[in-house]
Amino acid sequence: MTTTDYSVPTGESPHVCAYCGDPFREEEYLVLHHGLEHGDELSEDEVAAFYDAYEVETEELKHFRLKALGILVLLYFGFLFIYAIIGIS
Ligand SMILES: [Zn+2]
C-alpha cells in the first residue's frame, strides 16, 4: 500500500478506517476499503457488510455499462439518420 497525503475539507466528518486511518467521504467506500485492503483482519459482520456493498457496487457498474451502451447506440443511429437526411438532399 502506498503512502498518500490526504486533505479533508473543513467541516467534513470523514469515515476513518480503524486499521490504517485513511479517510473516506462515504461509509460505503470505507466498507469497500476494509474488504479490499484489510480482508484478513475483518470480523464476520464487516465481511458480510463488504459483500453487500460489493454486490451493490457491481449492480451499479452493470447499470452504468448498460446506460453507456444505450447512449452509444442512440448516438450512432442519431448520426446515421442525420447523415442519411443530409446526404439525400
Ligand atoms: Zn484501511
Ligand 1 centroid–CA 63 distance in Å is 28
Spatial distance between the Cα atoms of 60 and 72, rounded to a whole number of angstroms: 18
Ligand 1 centroid–CA 75 distance in Å is 42
Q: Cell numbers of 22, please?
A: 485513511
Ligand 1 centroid–CA 8 distance in Å is 16
Which candidate, 12, 11, 40, 43, places its Cα nearest to that of 25? Answer: 12
Please give the model's pTM, rounded to 2 decimal places: 0.69
Summary mean pLDDT of the chain: 91
Query: Tens digits of per-residue pLDDT, 33-71?
Result: 999 999 999 999 999 999 999 999 999 999 999 999 999
